[in-house]
Structure 1
Amino acid sequence: MVRILDLFSGMGGLSLGFALALEGAEILGLDIGRYAVETYNYNLNRLGAKAIVQDVLEWEPEGEFDVVMGGSPCQPFSLANTRRRGREHPLYPTFPRFFDVVLELEPKLFLLENVKGLLTRTHRHLLEEQLKRVDPRYEVRYSVLNAAHYGVPQRRERLFVLGVRRDLRAVPSFPPPTHAEREITTLSGGRLHRWVTVRDAIGDLLAIQPNAYPRKLVQADPIPPDHEAMPLTARHVDRIRREREDTTRHYGRMEFPDSLNKPSRTISSHTVEGTKRETIVVPVTEHVGGKVLPPETVARILSSGVGLRVHEPDQPAKTIKGVTGGPQNTEPYLLVTEHEYRETRARFSETSLRKHRPQRLGAPASTIRANFHKVPPDALVETRATYRRLTVRECLRLQSFPDWWSFPPDVTITWKYRLVGEAVCPILAYRLAVHIGKIMGWRVREPPKRDEWQLPYFYKAFADYYGGAFTC
């Protein structure tokens, strides 16, 4: 049995990863937030973890623990905080308090998670002060890890500080990356798999309208739990677009909308709430019953000729309503969204774009030509797209929480967003726990099991275990 204390546990992302990685883990979480503790227990009691409402600043450390871990509030060191920073911030005392508990309980190891702002010139001395306190008893290493490099569909950089008690003679280290922007082979002969993208994570959810799914389709494809979002009006969208394009007020232009073809930006209160430049905005095609296919699938369908009729050059075509998958599948497909078309058109010259325009629904098609397998501009169907913010369920997916994760009935949508944004990515926590468990000689639970994670991108996230032989 491995006894773990999770300080400032939030709703339990770090605890979830460790519970699924270490055999016989017994975890106690402490957090001052009632909603955080309720959500923690609502989901993690089944895995041998429990949390209590407790202000860590007032808690008297007691008990024996093998691991003390946690993420003290990041606001004092956040790069987004431009006002009260460091010692001046009211939450700063929680940071040295973490090390107070470590020194009093003397666990075999400790793991601290926080924002990378702790390593800036402004705050680095605050971290070094605390590391000097534990240096006589602990061998310490720290590193900034990007969750996208470990199979999480999110570019989330966080500082991790790992300390192992010196008398155990174990050397602390961090797990090597498993994913990269492009699939590559390392110098040692290893393989880094391609990043898990937003499309991989929430592509199925983008086809479901939050909170307003047609009743006649509920039985076939019900709304997933917590697939709800705060409204984002056209005026909000327009403001976000203008701010992203305004290079006079910001260092660089941000893409609009956010790309579906790479990991998301960091999920936090700054990016999933509000109506500012940083708010993540995803494109959603306006259609009922159809699906949006990725460009590679479009190319495959068009090259096979399935569901397509070759039109005579001097005759109008029938109205293009979509492309079917053959006689066994008559569900309509819309080939690409307006956003995807804009991404695709960058491949072609201006001459080609003027000569060949995308097909439009409700109008005769241009000639279907033999070279459509190369997906030229006129092999695409441009559809009208709207934009919205991420739903709570989509944020959970991008943070790598399993689809069985849910919230107690009394938790408001504002608190759901906040709890998800403050959590540690469970998949990254799992990889840390497995690596630490091997260092310490503990029994680890690997390979990960799909029925425990219940994520549509499970095999892509854990491609290092399954070799990419499976698809989701």
Structure 2
Amino acid sequence: MTSDSKTIRHEKLSRLQMGGKARTLEICSGAGGLSLGMLKAGFDLSAHIEFDPEAAKSYALNFGGADARSSAWARPRDMVETTAAQLVAELGFKTKAAESFDVLAAGLPCQAFARIGRSKLRSVAGEEDAFQKDPRASLYRHFLQFVEDTQPLAIIIENVPDILNFGGHNVPEEICETLEQSGYRARYTILNAAYFGVPQVRERLFIVALADALDQVPEFPDPTHFLDLPKGYEGSRRVALKHVSDSSRYFHPIPVPDPKLPLAVGTREAIGDLPVITEHFKDPATIRRRKLSADLPYQANIGALSDYAHLMRSWGGFATSGSSDGHLVRVTPRDFPIFSRMAVGDDYPMARRIAEKLLAETLAQAGIADIGQDSQTYLDIRAKIVPPYDPAKFPNKWWKLDPDKPSRTLTAHMGKDTYSHIHYDSKQRRTVSVREAARLQSFPDGFQFAGAMNAAFRQIGNAVPPLLGYAVASSLLAQLGCHVSRPEVEKKVARRRAA
């Protein structure tokens, strides 16, 4: 560290101690899941960088003000080609890059860390090395450059747990060591979104680093909800932790929820008040004409609204009144009868068996039960009823939500296939809608997504769940010595729970 770096960081700390808001730059922001959590906690969203055009537009729609669509906030940017100095100039800042941000956040693609060894990280300062030309390493090198150029007081990095065992390397361990050399105290751990009020079992790796000027070791939030992790997630966690040494100075023990905490939010609590959708099989033309921005009224006469649904409708700055948008679903007629017969928790092998039974029933009703399976008639009927995927190769391709438990992990692949999340209500016989996916990711109903249905699903699946982001941000803000925001709606929810 140079004396200039220390001076800049101490000046930023003094500004926060005088009551200033913590200013954030987020790199690879996506639509803004982490940003939304940070905003809720009380951070100032000063700038962001996002390469995907539709995600950048979504970010601007929700955080960019009245002229969002045409503003500099809506412009997609490549972090490799954009410098911090260029960014502050384009956004009209009156300060230099090193003076402009207190917190640097990033959800860098995991490919950025492929085969980065300890010696390669140390040589990032400019030593000639052919390995450094690997484009998959460039994003991390550029992230380190943003650290140098912005001199943040705090850093948040989010990624998948597999980054702990990426080609045999524990990348977070290496990142923390590198940041330590730049004047930060860094720690990493795994957080599960379901432990923090998100109706989804989603494991994510977080690194938090604090400048030495703060004289603190990074901490992580305590869980607010209890869940026994499904076996599949426990197994994945064990694999990810394989390269975490017992002697690591940087690994923070994974927070474990107290069984006395409220149970994790189930999918019925999360989406049960949203509109019933049946047009896809009753009147497909109607849903094909529906826009993502079209509002539909919430269900009426459903009894008491869950605390979670109340929060999703009342989130500060994103509240809705009587209706919400995003009620688009995939129109795939072949599979509607299968969805209807699937039981809660059924996966693709069971769906395939149901389809085979439907095929047998159809052939019997047509009086051709004994038709040869090589005949074109049989093959044509089969193609209209039975999905072609091999159950042995796609055991988890389909899954029907359990109304009493959190959802499985949402992925960006939902932009191409939502069958991993089939609605628990058999009468609706469909996969989840865009708004339901957003709810499962903890995006409030007033949050808008740019682009068409597939783009919205992709943005949702890529995002950090806002409530998980809020938990991490609240913990960080307290360590920065700032007041953690408690919007009125949260106080109301807390009072309701206490009652």
Q: How does the TM-score come out when normalised to structure 2?
A: 0.60
Cα pair 1:153 1:195 within 8 Å, conserved: yes
In structure 2, the residue matched to 1:7 is 27
Aligned match of 2:430:
388
Structure 1 residues 262-313: Cα deviation after superposition (integer angstroms, max 9, x where no partner): 111111133563276xx22123343xxxxxxxxxxxxxxxxxxxxxxxxxxx
Structure 2: gaps (5+ residues)? 1-20, 86-96, 115-130, 229-254, 300-321, 340-346, 354-389
* CA-to-aligned-CA distance 1:22-48 (integer Å, 9 cap, x gap): 16x242111112211111111113599
1:255 is displaced (CA, Å) by: 8.6
Match of 1:242 in 2: 349
Rounded to whole Å, the distance in 2 between the matches of 1:120 and 1:196 is 30
In the alignment, which of 464, 468, 471 is matched to residue 497 of structure 2? 468
Summarize the Cα distance change of 1:256–1:40 in structure 2 as closer, same or farther, 3 Å threshold. closer
Mapped partners of 1:433, 1:199: distance in 2? 27
Q: Label 1:89 to 1:387 Cα distance change in 2 as closer, same or farther (>3 A).
A: farther
Mapping of residues 400-439 of structure 1, within 5 Å: 400-408=442-450, 411-439=451-479
More strand by share: 1
- Structure 1 gaps, min length 5: 79-85, 287-385, 453-457, 460-464
1:259 and 2:402 aligned: yes
1:193 is paired with a residue of what secondary structure?
coil
- 2:265 counterpart (175, 196, 200): 196
1:399 aligned to 441, 454, 457, which one?
441
Which residue, 9, 12, 35 being the options, matches 2:54? 35
Do the aligned partners of 1:31 and 1:53 also contact (CA within 8 Å) in 2? yes
Match of 1:120 among 165, 178, 196: 165
Matches within 5 A, 1:151-300: 151-181=197-227, 191-205=260-274, 207-209=276-278, 224-235=324-335, 241-242=348-349, 249=392, 256-271=399-414, 273-274=416-417, 279-286=420-427
Partners of 1:236 and 1:275 within 8 A in 2: no
| Residue matched to 1:314 | none
Q: 1: CA distance between counterparts of 2:150 and 2:412?
A: 33
Shift of 1:244: 7.1
1:14-29 equivalence runs, <5 A: 14-22=34-42, 25-29=44-48
Provide the residue aligned with 1:94 in structure 2.
139
The aligned counterpart of 2:251 is: none
1:283 aligns to what SS in structure 2?
A: coil
Letter in 2 for 1:118: I
Tell me, what secondary structure is at the counterpart of 2:110?
coil
DSSP 3-state at the match of 2:80 = helix
| Paired amino acid for 1:282 | H
Tell me which residue corresponds to 1:441: 481
* Equivalent of 2:187 in 136, 141, 149: 141
CA–CA distance in structure 1, aligned partners of residues 67 and 337 of structure 2: 44
Give aligned pairs, total.
Answer: 344
Q: Aligned equivalents of 1:120 and 1:220: distance in 2?
A: 44
The answer to which structure has the higher helix fraction is 2
CA deviation string 1:298-349 (max 9, x = no partner): xxxxxxxxxxxxxxxxxxxxxxxxxxxxxxxxxxxxxxxxxxxxxxxxxxxx
Query: What secondary structure does 2:324 align onto?
Result: coil
Contact 2:266–2:404 under 8 Å retained in 1: yes
Is the alpha carbon distance of 1:123 and 1:399 closer, same or farther for their aligned partners in structure 2, counting shifts above 3 Å?
farther
With the length of structure 1 as denominator, give the TM-score of the two structures: 0.63
Residue number in structure 2 paired with 1:379: none
Which secondary structure state, in structure 1, belongs to the residue aligned with residue 497 of structure 2?
Answer: coil
Query: Whole-Å Cα distance in 2 between the matches of residues 252 and 36 of structure 1?
Result: 31
**Partner Cα distance (1:194, 1:175) in 2:** 17
Matched, 1:54 2:87: no
Amino acid at match of 1:283: Y
Residue 432 of structure 1 deviates from its aligned partner by 1.3
Aligned equivalents of 1:74 and 1:121: distance in 2?
A: 9
SS at match of 1:231: coil
Q: Identity of aligned pairs, percent?
A: 30
1:364-410 deviation line (CA, Å, top 9, x unaligned): xxxxxxxxxxxxxxxxxxxxxx53211110011111111111134xx
State how far apart, in whole Å, the 2-side matches of 1:427 and 1:158 are.
13
Matched residue of 1:135: which SS?
A: helix
Q: 1:210 to 1:67 in 2, by over 3 A?
A: farther
Partner of 1:57, secondary structure, is coil
Per-residue deviation, residues 46-71 of structure 1 (Å, max 9, x unmatched): 59995642110112223121100020
SS in 1 for 2:273: helix
**What code does the residue aligned with 2:349 have?**
R
Q: Which moved more, 1:244-253 or 1:160-169?
A: 244-253
